[in-house]
Amino acid sequence: MDLNSVIAETRNLITSVANQLSAAGANPEQLAVSTPARRLLGAFPLSASYKRAGEGFLLGALVVTTHGDVFEPGLIIRASLKVLPGHQAQSAQERVELRRKLLAAKFPEDSAVLIDPRRLPIDDLEALAKENGPLVLREVVVDGVRTQQLLVRWMSTASDSDLRPLEDYLNERVELAITGIAEA
C-alpha cells in the first residue's frame, strides 16, 4: 500500500466517523484559536480574543472533523456565564473571564469550546512516526508481518505498548457516543 492511499484511507475513516456522529445527532464542539492582545493602528489596545476555527467531535484523546482532519484537543471550556454560588477561587474567576471572552467572540452559549487544538499531521507519515502525542505511526507485527500502523495514545502517560489501532479506537468511541445519545 502506498503513502497516498494510507493518507486517503485515514482521512476517509475520520470523515466517516464524524459523519456518523453528526447523523446520530451529536453536537460538535467548537474549535477556537486564541489571538494575542495587540494594538490597532499602534494606538488602540485590543485585548486577547478567540476566533472560530471550525467544529469537531471530541472522541477521548482526538478531535475529528467532517473534513477528515484530526486534532489533539487543547483547553476544553464551556462558553457560559453560569457561575456556582459562593466564594470563587482565583482559577475559577479566570475561567469565568475566559468564558466571557468566548461569548464575546460569538461562540454559542453553553457550547463546548476547544481552545488552540493542535492539528495532527496525518498527511505527513514521517512526522507521525516522530510524534509522541495522541496519534502516532509505529511499526507493529500483525500476523507475523512487520507493518506500520496508526495508533492512538489514549492517555498521555501510556507507553508505546499500550497504544490502540486508530480504527479500533474510533469505532469503540463512536459506539459509546451513539449509545449515549440514544439513551439520552
DSSP string, 106-164: TPPTTEEEEESPEEP-TT-HHHHHH--SSEEEEEEEETTEEEEEEEE-SSTT--GGG-E
**What sign for the dihedral angle of Cα 159, 161, 167, 173?**
negative
pLDDT digit string, tens, across residues 122-177? 999 899 999 889 999 998 887 888 888 899 999 888 888 899 999 999 999 999 99
**pLDDT for res 83:** 67
Between 14 and 43, residue with greater pLDDT: 14
**pLDDT for res 48:** 76
**pLDDT for res 87:** 62
Percent of the chain at pLDDT > 90 equals 50
Residue 94 has pLDDT above 90, yes or no: no
C-alpha cell at 157: 502517560
Least confident of 6-10, 15-19, 39-43, 124-128: 39-43
Residue 1 has pLDDT above 60, yes or no: no
- CA 117 vs. chain centroid, Å, equals 6
Q: Exposure string (b/e) for 44-55, b if CB count within 10 Å is 16 or more? A: eeeeebbeebbb
Residue ranges of domains in the chain = 3-183
Least confident of 17-21, 91-95, 151-155: 91-95
**pLDDT for res 73:** 94
**pLDDT for res 127:** 93
**pLDDT for res 37:** 74
